[in-house]
Amino acid sequence: MQEVSPERIEEYRRKMEKLVVRKGFHFNKDRQMVNDLLKSLLINMDRYGYASCPCRLASGEYSLDRDIICPCVYAAPDIEEYGSCYCTLYVSKEWKEDRIPHVYVPERRPPEKVEAGLKAMAGQKQERS
């Protein structure tokens, strides 16, 4: 796996914290998991030029991946309904304090968006071969 320095992860964590606190989200209290997810986001940032969700396949085309740039457009409704986002990077206060059950969050991204991304990836693969 690509190396990302602990200092860069920490800097990104502080930046994201400011942003998500305004949205009323909290980081998961599992610090190691948060760091691993932030590292994956930074790898995606280097790879695609934007921090696409580490738990979903990105196409590499901004227009197709826009909805899954972290924090994704699905995070707020998922946190509202389940207490956490799909990756459990961001959670509600109740979830963080174990006052609600930690349940599996089903994929809220519409299948047609997933399909469009997969098609674009298949096209890119063909162009390369």
Which residues of this chain interact with ligand SF4, rule CB under 6 A? 37, 53, 55, 68, 70-72, 74-75, 85-87, 89-90
Reading the block at residue 62, the tokens are 């901004």
List alpha helices for the chain, DSSP H.
6-23, 31-48, 62-65, 75-82, 93-96, 111-128
For ligand SF4, the closer of residues 64 and 75 by Cβ is 75
For the CB of residue 75, give the shortest distance to ligand SF4 in the complex, in Å: 4
By C-beta, is 76 or 120 nearer to ligand SF4? 76
Q: Which residue's CB is nearer to ligand SF4, number 104 or number 128?
A: 104
Backbone angles phi, psi at 119, to 5 degrees: -65, -45
